[in-house]
Amino acid sequence: MGEALAFTVSREELQALGTLAPAPLGSISPFRVPRGETVPALDPGLPPRLGLLGPSGELTVAARHALQVLGGARSYARVYVTEASQTFEQTVFFDPEGGVPVGVTNTLQGLRVEDPAPLPALLEGIRQLTGETPVKSSAFKALCAPEEALALAAALDLERRRRLASMASLAEAPAVPLTPALLARTVRETPLSTQWLTFAVRSIYRDRFALDEAKAAAAAESLSRGSHFKPVPGGFALSEPAEALAALSLVFERILHVEAGRALSDGQVVYVGFSCLQAGVQDLLYVERTPEGLHFEALSSASALELTRHLLAHPEALDSLAAAVEAEKAAAGAREPATMVIASENLPVLRLRGEAGVLEGQTLVLGDGAVIGRQAGVSVVLDDARVSRRHAEVRRSVDGRWTLSDLGSSNGTFVNDQRISVPTPLGPEDRIRVAETILKVLP
């Protein structure tokens, strides 16, 4: 396609433009309006003002392509980069016919639609934030069983704390041998904050694995055999690569999260994704849960950028994932309750189970947070006329605690049958009610 197109509109204007789409809207289309809500009326002056019409009043080639892709896309990729001062988000919708993708970026002015999607500019923006150097200061890499992962994370956190204390006091804090009792106590007493790797590992495994002194002793011996610990008088110490990783990961400054989704034939969406935690200029920590165990690896910024580039450049991999899920459903002979993943398993998550309403039987997995409402494009869409467009929001605070806030909804948000008016902490077994939908917080 030789003609480019770019314009910025409000969400309501984008939904109104969906009335011009040449085919029925797919389940991931940004044009979609929740059931029970009226499609915004299209201002007749909007298409010509945006440059969507040709001299004779017909849609241009570029406009037809953009509308077709945004309306009928079956797969997408979304990139988030979050840090203290800014958040960047762009979604790329892939052309089901194999043509160029279309991008939608959240900006302060509205939704920026670009056809073709500015993938080079997107990757350049990520490169400017995270860097692109093949150099990494640590060669650390480990595949650990759950108890080993807990012991390793505790040891890394203890070394990070020692170094931070040394910086704060302007005096070198003494190193303490890693004993089974110290490792077990660290796992048990680590604060609930995503800055601590121990909390991240506990959250990934949802506290299904405890680390008492006996298990900590066995884990330390195994980590020593794997060259991640080394014996010292009175216990163990981190190996040189692990100690270098701790030194480079004192404070995580930035999180890169890339997710991709593919709509199935029944409208459900399957997701994949990864996250990288960055501390300093060039070093990132990648943590991935695999069937074999928990994979820790120090990555260079160039490697993280290449992972992002691959996911954006190969949407056909999503087709393979969707085909595998469809095959599993067919083999099962019955539709399984859906799991809606809005997070990477690499970070602590909140799990909610639908007990009533439109999400009954489904499990939601939330990462940093999610907006609940009727409006197309929010993280959790409830197709219910009694739900406000942006009804409530679940967020994870800096200390790792989850809270629920009402966003000025008409019918209120409830926790354990009590209407809330301020951010309210959530814990296991709590029940969230939005209209007729009830979500239970899972352990």
Is residue 395 within 8 A of residue 371, CB to CB? The reply is: no
Phi, psi of 27 (to 5 degrees): -70, -20
- Taking only the tens place, the pLDDT of each residue in 116-136 is 999 998 888 888 878 788 877
- Taking only the tens place, the pLDDT of each residue in 222-270 is 999 989 999 999 999 999 989 988 888 888 787 787 878 888 877 777 7
Res 271 pLDDT > 80: no
State the pTM of this model. 0.61
Top mean pLDDT of 99-103, 204-208, 279-283 is at 99-103
Measured between alpha carbons, how far is 65 from 244 in angstroms, rounded to an integer? 50
Average pLDDT, the chain: 83
Q: 175-210: string of b/e by CB count within 10 Å (b at 16+)?
A: eeebbbebbbebbeebeeebbbbbbbbbbbeeeeee
Measured between alpha carbons, how far is 123 from 18 in angstroms, rounded to an integer? 28
Is residue 102 within 8 A of residue 69, CB to CB? The reply is: yes
Per-residue confidence at 39, pLDDT binned at 50, 70, 90? confident
Measured between alpha carbons, how far is 159 from 415 in angstroms, rounded to an integer? 39
Measured between alpha carbons, how far is 70 from 298 in angstroms, rounded to an integer? 37
Task: Output the six-digit token pair for 103.
Answer: 């991008």
